[in-house]
C-alpha cells in the first residue's frame, strides 16, 4: 500500500444549489478554498467517483502544489436488482445493460485519471455496492472482473469500500484480488450511543481484520451526524457535542494503533437525502456547508469560526 499513516478525510465539495445528481459541480476556486482549509489538518483525501468534481480536485492539488494523497473512487451503478433495498431497486434489463456500459466508462475514466495525476495513490472499485440494503448492487464476480481490469491498466493498489458486514462472508472472492480492504463503520446508524460507540467501531474493524490475517485493512468511513429528523438515527443521538466526542475517541484509537481512517465527512452535504433540512444524511460534515467549523474543529480552526 502506498498510503502512510496520517490524518485522512472523505471530501465532497458540493455547496448549496450544487449536486452531482444534476451535474452542478463546485468551481476550481471553491475546491481550492476547501483544500486550503483541509491542508491544515489532513494529508489524505478520499473521493467517491471520477466525475468532473473529482477531476477538478486532482487538478487543484497538482496546480497548487498541495500535499494530498488521494484515494480515487468509482461510482458504480446497479448491475442487478435488489429487492432488499428499502427505497426500491428493481430495474429493467435495459437499465441494467445501460448501467453496465456506464460502469465500464467510469472504469476508463478512473484509469485515465490514475495515469494522469501523481496524487492518486489508490483506486476503489466502488462504494457500498454489495451490502444488503444498497440501491446499486453489483455482483461480486463483476467486481472481481472490474478490479482485474483496473490492475491490468494502472500501477496504484486497488481496493473496494464497503460496510464491515459483507467482508466477513460474501466478499471473500473479491479480497483475493484486492491489494487492501476498506471498511465502513457507523455506530449511530446501528442505534449505538456514545457509551459503546468506539468499542463497536473497534469490533467492526476487527471482525474484518481477524477474518483476513495478513491483509491490510483501512477504515474509509467513520463519523457522527450532528442533526437528525429521526429517520434511522434518533434526534437525541445526533449533535455537535456527540460528533466531537466520537471524533476524539476515534482519533486517539486509530492514531495509537496506526489504523488509517478516513473520517466521514469534510463538509455538510445539503444535496443528500430528502428535502427535510434535518435529514441525517446532510449533516456528517466536520464543517458546515458555509465552511464554518463545527464544534469538533473550532479549536483547530478559530480563524473560520463566526
Residue 145's pLDDT is 98
Helix axes 52-64, 28-39, angle to 10 degrees: 60
Residue 306's pLDDT is 83
Residues 304 and 255: their CA atoms lie apart, in Å, by 26
Q: Write a three-state SS string for 193-223.
A: CCCCHHHHHHHHHHHHHCCCCCCCEEEEEEC
Alpha helices (H) in the chain, listed in sequence order: 28-39, 52-64, 93-116, 140-153, 164-167, 172-175, 197-209, 240-257, 295-298
Chain position carrying cell 471482525: 207
Quote the cell numbers at residue 260: 488509517
**Looking at the whole model, is its pTM more than 0.85?**
yes
pLDDT in tens, the chain (306 residues): 456 899 999 999 999 999 999 999 999 999 999 999 999 999 999 999 999 999 999 999 999 999 999 999 999 999 999 999 999 999 999 999 999 999 999 999 999 999 999 999 999 999 999 999 999 999 999 999 999 999 999 999 999 999 999 999 999 999 999 999 999 999 999 999 999 999 999 999 999 999 999 999 999 999 999 999 999 999 999 999 999 999 999 999 999 999 999 999 999 999 999 999 999 999 999 999 999 999 999 999 999 998
To the nearest 10°, the Cα dihedral for 236, 237, 242, 245?
140
Asked whether 245 and 238 are in contact (CB, 8 A), the reply is: no
Q: Which domains does the chain have, with CATH numbers?
A: 8-304 (3.20.20.80)
Amino acid at each position: 500500500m502506498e498510503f502512510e499513516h496520517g490524518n485522512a478525510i472523505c471530501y465532497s465539495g458540493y455547496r448549496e444549489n450544487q449536486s452531482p445528481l444534476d451535474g452542478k459541480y463546485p468551481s476550481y476556486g471553491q475546491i481550492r478554498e476547501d483544500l486550503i482549509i483541509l491542508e491544515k489538518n489532513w494529508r489524505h483525501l478520499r473521493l467517491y467517483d471520477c466525475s468532473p468534481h473529482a477531476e477538478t480536485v486532482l487538478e487543484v492539488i497538482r496546480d497548487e502544489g498541495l500535499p494530498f494523497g488521494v484515494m480515487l473512487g468509482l461510482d458504480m451503478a446497479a448491475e442487478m436488482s435488489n429487492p432488499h433495498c428499502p427505497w426500491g431497486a428493481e430495474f429493467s434489463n435495459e437499465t441494467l445493460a445501460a448501467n453496465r456500459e456506464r460502469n465500464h466508462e467510469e472504469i476508463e475514466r478512473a484509469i485515465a485519471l490514475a495515469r494522469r495525476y501523481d496524487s492518486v495513490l489508490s483506486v476503489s472499485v466502488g462504494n457500498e455496492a454489495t451490502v444488503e440494503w444498497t440501491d446499486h448492487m453489483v455482483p461480486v464476480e463483476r467486481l472481481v472482473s472490474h478490479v482485474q481490469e483496473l490492475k491490468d491498466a494502472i500501477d496504484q493498489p486497488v481496493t473496494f469500500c464497503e460496510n464491515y458486514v459483507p467482508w466477513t462472508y460474501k466478499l471473500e472472492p473479491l479480497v483475493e484480488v484486492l491489494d487492501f480492504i476498506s471498511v465502513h463503520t457507523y455506530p449511530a446508524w446501528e442505534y449505538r450511543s456514545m457509551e459503546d460507540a468506539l468499542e463497536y467501531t473497534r469490533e467492526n474493524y476487527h471482525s474484518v481484520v481477524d477474518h483476513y490475517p495478513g491483509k491490510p485493512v483501512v477504515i474509509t468511513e467513520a463519523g457522527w451526524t450532528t442533526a437528525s429528523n429521526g429517520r434511522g438515527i434518533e434526534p437525541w443521538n445526533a449533535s455537535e457535542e456527540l460528533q466531537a466526542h466520537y471524533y476524539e475517541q476515534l482519533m486517539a484509537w486509530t492514531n495509537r494503533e496506526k489504523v488509517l481512517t478516513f473520517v466521514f465527512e469534510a463538509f455538510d452535504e445539503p444535496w443528500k437525502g430528502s428535502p427535510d433540512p434535518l435529514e441525517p444524511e446532510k449533516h456528517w460534515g466536520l464543517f458546515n456547508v458555509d465552511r464554518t467549523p463545527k464544534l469538533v474543529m473550532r479549536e483547530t480552526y478559530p480563524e473560520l469560526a463566526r
